[in-house]
Amino acid sequence: MSDFHLEPKRSDAIEKAAQSAVPVTGTEPASFFKQLKGFWVTFRTMFKKPNTIEYPEVKPEVQPRFHGRHQLNRYEDGLEKCIGCELCAWACPADAIYVEGENNTEENRMSPGERHAKVYQINYLRCIFCGLCIEACPTRALTMTNEYEIADDKREKLIWEKEDLLAPLRNGMLMPPHPMYPGSDHHNYYRGEIKESHPSQEVNGRK
Amino acid sequence: MSDPTILLDDPGWVIALKGLLIFVLCVVLTLLSVWGERRIVARMQMRLGPNRVGPFGLIQALADGVKLALKEDIIPKAADRAVFILAPIISATTCFMAFAVIPMTGVVNFFGEETIMQLTDLPVGVLYVLATASIGVYGIVLAGWSSGSTYPLLGGLRSSAQVISYEIAMGLSFVGVFIYAGSMSTRDIIESQSTWWNIVVLFPSFAIYVISMVGETNRAPFDLAEAEGELVGGFHTEYSSLKFALFFLAEYVNIIAVSSLATTLFLGGPSAPPGLGFTESWLGGWFTFIWFFLKVLGFFFFFVWLRGTLPRLRYDQFMKFGWKVLIPVNVAWILVVATLRLMTQQGASQFLIAAFTGGVVLAVLLAMSLYDSTKKKAEARAHDVGEMPEPSFPVPALPSIKKVEE
**pLDDT tens for residues B242-280?**
888 888 888 888 888 889 888 888 888 787 777 777 777
- pLDDT value for A207: 44
List of residues 6+ apart from A175 with CB closer than 8 A = A78, A169, A206, A207
Q: Which of A14, A15, A39 sits opposite B309 (nearest CB)?
A: A39
Q: So where are chain A's domains? A: 70-192
The verdict on residue B211 lying in a domain is yes
The pLDDT, as a whole number, for residue A19 is 63
Q: Taking CA atoms, what residue in A is nearest to B401?
A: A23
* H or E segment and range at residue B12: helix B12-44
> ipTM > 0.90?
no
**Domain containing B151: what range?**
74-273+283-333
- A15, A38, A45: residue with CB nearest B397: A15
- Tell me which residue of B210, B217, B218, B223 sits closest to B326, measured CA to CA: B210
Q: How many domains does chain B have?
A: 1
DSSP assignment string, chain A: ---S--SPPPHHHHHHHHHHSPPP---SPPPHHHHTHHHHHHHHHTTSPP----TTTSPPP--TT---SEEE-B-TTS-B------HHHHH-TT--EEEEEEE--SSS--SSSSEEEEEEEEETTT-----HHHHH-TTS-EEE-S------S-TGGGEE-HHHHBPPP-TT--PSS-PPPTT--HHHHHTT---S--GGG--TT--
- The strand pairing partners of B108, in sequence order, are B115
CATH code for the structural domain at A70-192: 3.30.70.3270
In a domain, B62, yes or no: no
Contacts of A41 in chain B (CB under 8 A): 309
What is the share, in percent, of chain A residues with pLDDT greater than 90?
36
Cβ-in-10-Å burial (0-12, 13-18, 19+) of B250 comes to buried
**Global confidence as pTM:** 0.75
Question: Do residue B397 and residue A18 have CB atoms under 8 angstroms apart?
Answer: yes
In this structure, of A94-103, B33-42, B61-70, B214-223, the range with the lowest mean pLDDT score is: B214-223
Q: From B375, which residue of chain A is nearest by alpha-carbon distance?
A: A28
Give CA–CA dist A80/A72, Å, rounded: 8
Q: Which residues of A touch B45 (CB under 8 A)?
A: 45
Q: How far is CA B402 from CA A17, A21, A24, in A?
A: 13, 10, 9
Q: B216 CB contacts (<8 Å, ≥6 apart)?
A: B133, B163, B166, B167, B170, B254, B258
Q: Is residue B146 part of a domain?
A: yes
Average pLDDT, chain A: 84
Q: How far is C-alpha A200 from the chain's CA centre?
A: 36
The answer to whether position B63 is within a domain reads no
Q: Is B46 within 8 Å of A47 (Cβ atoms)?
A: no
Distance from the first to the final alpha carbon of chain A: 71
Within 8 A of A46 by CB-CB distance, chain B residues are 40, 43-44
Residue B20 falls inside a structural domain: no
- B150 pLDDT exceeds 90? no
- Chain B residues with CB-CB distance to A54 below 8 A: 48, 51
Interface touch B394/A54, C-beta < 8 Å: no
Q: Is the pLDDT of residue B177 over 50?
A: yes
How far is Cα B115 from Cα A154, in angstroms, rounded to an integer? 64
Task: State the Cα–Cα distance between residues B102 and A141, nearest whole angstrom.
Answer: 76
Residue B357 in any domain: the answer is no
Query: For chain B, how many residues are written?
Result: 406
Residue B392 located in a structural domain: no
For residues B99 and B119, the answer to whether their CB atoms sit within 8 Å is yes
The per-residue pLDDT for range A108-128, each reduced to its tens digit, is: 889 998 999 999 999 999 999
Neighbours of B308 (CB within 10 A): 22
- Residue B239 maps to a domain: yes
